[in-house]
Amino acid sequence: MSKKLLCTFLFLFLLIFNCSWVAAAEPELQGETAALIDAKTGRLLYGKDAHKRMYPASTTKVLTALVALERANLSDVVTVGPNAINSGGTRIWLPEGEQLTLEELLFALMLNSANDAGVAIAEHVAGSVESFAQISNLAAKKLALWILTLPIPTACLKKIITVLPMILH
């Protein structure tokens, strides 16, 4: 039997019998919440606790990385200051005075969720965490991320959001 004939037969079989067993299984996700949104219509295609209120730390760190990539070079050498070592939360325990490239700090920020790396990046890019927060807030508005009013680049804050408004607003 030719491939064309076989494909036609299978298509008609599935069409006629509307086999529900062909449908994809629900995805296995590690995250606590998720939302898959149709970009054109804004329709929720899939949601996992999409209305659950969460802290936006990871989103903040992604924005920190984006701003750093726009405003600095990966090969820049960054010296860790005293604010970074007192950042709290998840850290890689950078000592004051340590010198790393921006690329190394971005890896620490994104892979280890390192708050001390985020503070070091912010101070390198903008001179202070406060100045970096202002720059990040402008970037967030350009990206339509209404949830971010950042006091710091690591999101150790009390602001709670849900995944849906963050995407849909």
Length of the chain, in residues: 169
Is 128 catalytic? The answer is no
CA of 62: how far to CAs of 1, 145, 148, in Å? 53, 12, 12
Which one of 2, 40, 52, 58 is the catalytic residue?
58
Is 113 catalytic? The answer is yes
Which one of 61, 87, 142, 158 is the catalytic residue?
61
Which one of 4, 40, 52, 113 is the catalytic residue?
113
Distance separating alpha carbons of residues 20 and 14, to the nearest angstrom: 9
Q: Which residues does residue 161 pair with via DSSP β-bridges, in sequence order?
A: 54
Give the amino acid at 10. L
How is residue 155 written in tokens? 């999101």
DSSP letter, residue 54: B
Give catalytic residues, as residue numbers. 58, 61, 113
